[in-house]
């Protein structure tokens, strides 16, 4: 890779999909997942706690369950995204209902964009993603090149210079 060139990360045919839904959107996600069960069972599924329990009960598919969103589950999903362990985020979030963990929600959406993973925030975008031919084949995801950011120099002033 040359200076300024973006690296690529192979995304295997069997995707690692995170499924997250706020309380008022869980029914939408359950209906969507039921409709797409045959496609989803071909992939590795992850979900935040409450959503994961509901999905397992309804679908009879094994799901790796993390903590509930307000208890750190959104942050766990974000860490998996940053660590290259999640390939796709299906997050039915409720734009009309304030959440006690709104900063975590914003952080999860931000980190998904930072690492260039597809995000579906509603049924329409989830339908477009799940029906894409890329869902059933390997894919080379282009990663942003953050090398300049990682190598930046931070100027730190000594305490003596800032004390009057």
DSSP string for residues in 7-24? PEEEE-SS-EEEEEE-GG
- Written as six digits, the tokens of 120 are 């579906």
At 53 the three-state DSSP class reads helix
DSSP string, 60-78: ----EE---GGGTHHHHHH
DSSP code, position 97 = S
Annotated active-site residue in 23, 28, 60, 74: 74
Catalytic status, residue 74: yes
Q: Judging by DSSP bridges, how do beta strands 139-142 and 16-21 pair with one another?
A: unpaired
Within 10 Å of residue 98's Cβ, how many Cβ atoms?
6
Catalytic residues: 74
């Amino acid at each position: 890779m040359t200076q300024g060139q973006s690296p690529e990360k192979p995304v295997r045919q069997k995707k690692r999909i995170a499924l997250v839904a706020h309380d008022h959107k869980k029914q939408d996600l359950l209906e969507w997942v039921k409709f797409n069960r045959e496609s989803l069972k071909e992939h590795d599924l992850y979900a935040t706690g409450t959503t994961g329990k509901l999905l397992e009960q309804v679908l009879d598919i094994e799901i790796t369950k993390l903590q509930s969103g307000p208890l750190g589950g959104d942050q766990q999903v974000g860490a998996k995204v940053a660590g290259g362990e999640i390939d796709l985020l299906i997050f039915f979030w409720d734009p009309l209902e304030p959440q006690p963990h709104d900063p975590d929600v914003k952080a999860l959406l931000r980190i998904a964009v930072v690492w260039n993973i597809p995000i579906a925030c509603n049924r329409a975008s989830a339908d477009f993603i799940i029906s894409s031919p890329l869902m059933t084949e390997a894919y080379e995801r282009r990663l942003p090149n953050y090398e300049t950011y990682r190598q930046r120099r931070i100027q730190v002033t000594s305490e003596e210079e800032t004390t009057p």
